[in-house]
Structure 1
């Protein structure tokens, strides 16, 4: 797949590789392996534009994020840059875009993101994983929020999600001590759905992305929204009402719903159109 296949080309992002490993799949690779893929602030703003483009691009259905090299998925913010940024007046208000560190830790979006964690996911890297729709980890992956060791705090979305995902005791252990989860432990706690060999990691992530991409793009967007609405804040009733209000009519009257039911009746594979939701 080339940029020519899209309605408009992706916006440029520094220190990031953008590739398309399969039809309808975007792969974003943080490309600062020498500094454990820790990201400068400007990259988060550029990634914010990239993921908006991803959501608006009809031919893309699933995103994967990973880190270059074999040691780190993402070690969070660039601490050397952060020491300088602390003296800026607007750091608390505008340090990162509304969708958070790497434009992922507070991302709402429409389309699913898979984190393929290939090593250390610390600080902002763990916060990315906590807000991802699916997480696959290599056997050498580790997860931690070391902020209490640095005098900072995981304020890009990670702390409340710790509690929702892990429960109070485990969340406090991670938040208050900088506890490091190994890959298998992260799977047992519910952060990771699959652990694989590092050499197989991207292949496994692409297989999962292709499986999701083979489903109705409209149904994936609406189904993801329904799950996340309940997980993040509301009751079951509030989540259902919000999703029905936003997507219900367009989903069931849309061409993909017609095609899906027609394909079922005709005993053939459906031919999906890019989502217009």
Structure 2
């Protein structure tokens, strides 16, 4: 058997796509898309937590036009994100969509002028960073579990068992509750989750 006939040696299993598309990281990933996000670039975008697009941005999975399948992790997530019919249209035709279409489909959070796309992403990153790092990690884990796990109850159980159990042991939950009762802004410590 030649190495070309072994699926593990083929381009479709390229390790370059695994880190983001199958990531289990704790920190939110925010994309600022300015230009083309095609193929692997589009798969990266699908797997981000928040996506901001310039008005001129375009998204696409043109792999089928070249005899390749987009298997970097985007397909199952696309179905949950935009529905089976839209995901099928998008992936099976290989036809790119505009930033506005991506917004209408729920593929991106916001479309802004090209000169503001990075600033918009940074603005949201700063808003997230103002919150408890432990709560961010736990909340993101719950969102990801709900997105990637078929059963809602199982997703909740996993999050409760892992991240929430650790969140309750940390200093930030106490600081957040104390600051709320004292009507002041919390002073967060680095996460230990």
Task: Give me the TM-score of the superposition, normalised by structure 2.
Answer: 0.92
Name 1:111's counterpart in structure 2: 27
Q: CA deviation at 1:124?
A: 0.5
Q: Which has the higher contact order (CA 8 A, sep 6+)?
A: 2
Residue deviations 1:161-218, cap 9 Å, x none? 2211121211111111112110011001001010001111111110000000000100
Q: 2:9 aligns with which of 91, 96, 116?
A: 91
Q: 1:150 aligns with which of 66, 72, 78?
A: 66
Q: Calculate the aligned-residue CA RMSD, in Å.
A: 2.1
Name 1:259's counterpart in structure 2: 175
User: SS of the residue aligned with 1:143?
Assistant: strand
Structure 2 distance, partners of 1:200, 1:87, is 47
Q: 2:104 aligns with which of 188, 192, 197?
A: 188
Gap runs ≥5 in structure 2: none
Name 1:234's counterpart in structure 2: 150
Q: CA deviation at 1:231?
A: 1.1
Name 1:221's counterpart in structure 2: 137
Relative to structure 1, the CA distance from residue 125 to residue 102 in structure 2 (aligned partners, 3 Å threshold; closer, same or farther) is farther
Relative to structure 1, the CA distance from residue 237 to residue 95 in structure 2 (aligned partners, 3 Å threshold; closer, same or farther) is closer
Q: Which has the higher helix share?
A: 2
Gap runs ≥5 in structure 1: 1-84
Structure 2 distance, partners of 1:230, 1:180, is 28
Name 1:38's counterpart in structure 2: none
User: SS of the residue aligned with 1:136?
Assistant: strand
Name 1:199's counterpart in structure 2: 115
Whether the aligned pair in 2 keeps the contact of 1:105 and 1:124 (CA below 8 Å) is no
Q: CA deviation at 1:88?
A: 9.5
Q: 2:100 matched to 1:171?
A: no
Structure 1 distance, partners of 2:155, 2:109, is 24
Task: Give me the TM-score of the superposition, normalised by structure 1.
Answer: 0.65
Q: CA deviation at 1:107?
A: 1.4
Structure 2 distance, partners of 1:114, 1:146, is 23
Q: Which has the higher strand share?
A: 1
Structure 2 distance, partners of 1:123, 1:175, is 10
Whether the aligned pair in 2 keeps the contact of 1:140 and 1:198 (CA below 8 Å) is yes
Q: CA deviation at 1:102?
A: 6.9
